[in-house]
Amino acid sequence: MYPTLYAVSHAETSLREPRDRPLSTFWNEYLKMLPVIARANYRLQERMLGRRTFAFLDQLEERQRWPQDKLKQLQFDRLKQIVTHAYEKTEYWRTTMERQGLTPSDLRSFDDLYKFPLLDKETVRAERERMVDREGRRRLMLVRTSGSTNEALQFYADSDREAQINAARIRGHRWVGINKGDREMYFWGSPIELSKQDHIKRFRDWLINDGLTNGFEIKPELVKQYFEYWMRWRPKCIFGYPNSLMLMALMSQPQDLDLTALVPRGLEVICTTSEMLTDVDRDRISKAFGVPVFDSYGLREAGLIGHECKHQVMHTMDDQLLLETIDPQTSEPTEGEGELVVTSIYSTVMPMIRYRTGDVVTLSSEPCRCGLSLNRLKISGGRVADFVITTDGRWIPGYAFIYICRSVPGVIKFQVRQDRPGEIRVVVATDHQFPNDGIEQIASQARDRLQSEDRVTVEVVEDIQPARSGKYRPVVSRVAEQALAQANES
């Protein structure tokens, strides 16, 4: 998600505890016992930053059980407001709408949204200064995305936008029993977080019961340090990347570290984000830590999109977003599965209308036992570019290889690479548990899954380096990237 340089240089910094400061042992225990104090500190922090987080949170919690027709009316009213604001206040959207022969009054139903052109990262990158409304903004800031595919993006945000995202995250955590102020450990790797772990930032995080461990720097000698730190911190929730948590689980076993020992220390749930959480990884992480695992999904430029409830159903933020799916190659609307397209209806600072996420999902309005009236989302294929394309033209999602590689003992990391059509290479980093026939097991399962004439090779390496973002990509397919680029140009 962010450059590895930060993760490495701040690996030790992320482990420093408040108890290193005078008298902090007492206060650390005091706040541990009283999350209400940490929650009050967070309220004060948000107020000082000009963010109306808890006012927005109250609104979100009121709407989450609204009848569908009332929720749809809210969505449409807010959509009209966003479109009108974009037309009147931003040069880019006014020009774009005029080119399409559109005015705000032409928006009479949700179907009229299809008249708007799709918005992609390249357009946002090129037109950013013409898309922003700077008037009357509190704490206008330029924000940078992670660039998990090495395509970082900068866009504008303000206090209200950030407060809305924070409120949505708090609401999602409450669905699984975690409230702001409960002790959380972020198993994270953002240079924004890691590079700001100075005394003031660390002290502020301590005041709101937030801990941080470097989720990008994971190796056997650090796993024991992380575990001991977590035992002292006593988190109620660990929040991090699925791959980081899987590596923690795998590397703890040879060292006889029992991660379930965190449960008597207060651990109740694990929440994941940023990477695709497969069923097999969810099960393994849950068994390793002894607690349920709940997933969330969001984009920095679009905010939180979905969060799971206690039934492990991912609910969408329908009171903040309009979601649709399209065929990634033809851009035509699809029913159910397709590339996710997002329209933000809660922020006017830089209107995002019909923004292509590049992620393949399945949308559903099926009711959930939890009673929330919000719709459902399932991440069904990862990123559009995280596919391999077989010689007969089929797109195979990266998660298929996750199941294959996880089924063979001793595979610590893996990556599928497709540099040219007809050739697929699976690269794995292994430990002593990897069997003698492990290479053939992976190759055989991959061939069975592909059912094609593609040549499959498996290579064992000492380590697999993450992308410049710091995150591990399960698939690097130049073939899929080129096919998408050609489709977008046509």
The set of residues, in sequence order, having a beta carbon less than 8 Å from that of 322 and lying 6+ positions away, is 75, 79, 110, 113, 342, 343, 345
Amino acid at 58: D
Structure tokens at 122: 């390249």
pLDDT in tens, 321-370: 999 999 988 899 998 789 999 999 999 999 999 999 988 899 999 999 99
Placement of tokens 């064992």 in the chain = 460
Task: Tell me 64's DSSP state.
Answer: T
79 versus 396: the higher-pLDDT residue is: 79
The confidence score (pLDDT) of residue 16 equals: 44
- What are the helix (H) ranges across 308-372? none
pLDDT digits (tens, 9 = 90+) for 6-24: 222 233 334 444 333 434 4
- CA 42/CA 36 separation, integer angstroms: 10
The total number of residues written for the chain in this structure = 490
Q: Kindly list the distances between the CA atom of residue 291 and the CA atoms of 236, 259, 261, 267, 365, in Å, as whole numbers in the listed order.
A: 10, 10, 11, 7, 28
Tell me the H-state helices in 90-186: 91-99, 121-131, 159-175
- pLDDT (tens digit per residue) in 402-419: 778 878 888 888 899 999
Q: Which of 307, 308, 309, 305 is nearest to 323 (CA)?
A: 305
For residue 397, the cross-strand partners are: 387
Q: What is the pTM of this model?
A: 0.78
Mean pLDDT, residues 302-319 taken together: 97
More confident of the two residues 422 and 23: 422
- Domains of the chain listed by start with CATH number: 387-489 (3.30.300.30)
Six-digit token string for 274: 């940023």
Distance CA 288, CA 418 (A): 32
pLDDT per position as a tens digit, 93-140: 999 999 999 999 999 999 999 999 999 988 998 899 999 999 988 889
* DSSP for residue 119: B
- Sequential DSSP letters for 360-427: EEEEE----TT---S-EEEEEEEETTSEEE-TTS-EEETHHHHHHHHTSTTEEEEEEEESSTTEEEEE
What confidence score (pLDDT) does residue 119 get?
A: 96
- Residue of 11, 12, 18, 8 whose CA lies nearest to 232: 18
Q: Is pLDDT above 60 for 190?
A: no
The model's pLDDT over 438-476, given as tens digits with 9 standing for 90+, comes to 999 999 999 988 888 999 999 999 888 766 545 567 788
Segment 31-54, tens digit of pLDDT: 455 888 999 999 999 999 999 999
